[in-house]
Chain A
């Protein structure tokens, strides 16, 4: 159900059913169930060795939604482990063109989130939640990307929870 900018009511409009269906019924339905999409990996696959350049995570689908121009909320949850001193960085690639962290084709050095593994094989759960105001209306795709500064670390998939969710606030 799409959102239609609420009309300025005028006397000459009259109380037509078509106007009430578009501006009242449809908009209420839109507010009740706003655009959202969510993917999760519930402990399937094998742990993913994280390379040194941004790559997609096997088994994590691209999230797509159509928005009306409102604010978007992103929630990312995942677990990593590896050798001491490894740095794991994540980001979201938007429409296969730019990164959420930088709004540019190159991500920021630290991405949306960077985590230093502090002890050998430490398992670190990460939760990222950001809000991007006034996101351009239209159809969009969002793809989770991950990298490390130097091998010997993994994203836990076999026995861990990974999620990427997007919704209009």
Chain B
């Protein structure tokens, strides 16, 4: 359902069915359910065997974790909700998550270079430690139209491998127009 900029009604203007459908019906439907894209995994298991490098964000899996939205306003809310564990013997290392907007800029920095700790990060533990790893943020000043957000991760501290995101857990990433 599309959104049409509400019209300014004029005295003596004809009130026809086309105007009622466009400016009342369609806009009401749009406001009831504004655009959003939510990816939810129940009992997810993400286990990477490749190493993650420092300051080198790579896709978690773009075939699965790509969010798209046809934006009418200039504002979005983006979130991630996960339970993770980072099992690595060196506790000064860890993983960071970010989103790449339209293949050009990272949301953490709003530049082409992601921040080292991304939007949210978690240090490695010496034991199998579960930890909530979540963020939610609002972003404004975007250009209306189709936007794409791709989920990225990298390491901080040093290159690490053997990362296991906790199995049998709930994972959600999402974006919605606000």
Contact = CB atoms under 8 A, between A and B. Distances in A.
B81 A115 contact: no
Could you say which of B15, B16, B20, B127 has the most chain A C-beta atoms within 10 Å of its C-beta?
A: B20
A45 B52 CA distance: 46
Interface residues of A, number: 41
B168 A9 contact: no
The size class of the interface chain B forms with chain A is: 35 or more
Contacts of A24: 24
Given A6-B29, A110-B169, A169-B176, A101 B42 contact: yes
A15 B20 CA distance: 10
Interface stretch (A57-65, A127-135, A159-167): A127-135
A114 B36 contact: no
B53 interface: no
Contacts of A116: 85, 125, 129-131
B130 A6 contact: no
Contact of A110 (B79, B166, B172, B176): B166
Contacts of B21: 8-9
Given A6-B24, A169-B176, A110 B83 contact: yes
B14 to A, nearest CB: 12
Given A6-B25, A108-B43, A111-B169, 20 more contacts: A8-B21, A9-B20, A70-B33, A71-B33, A108-B42, A108-B170, A109-B167, A110-B169, A113-B170, A114-B166, A115-B130, A116-B131, A118-B129, A127-B134, A128-B81, A129-B134, A130-B40, A130-B170, A133-B36, A133-B38
Would you list the 5 A-B pairs with minimal beta carbon distance, nearest first? A109-B168, A110-B169, A9-B20, A6-B25, A116-B129
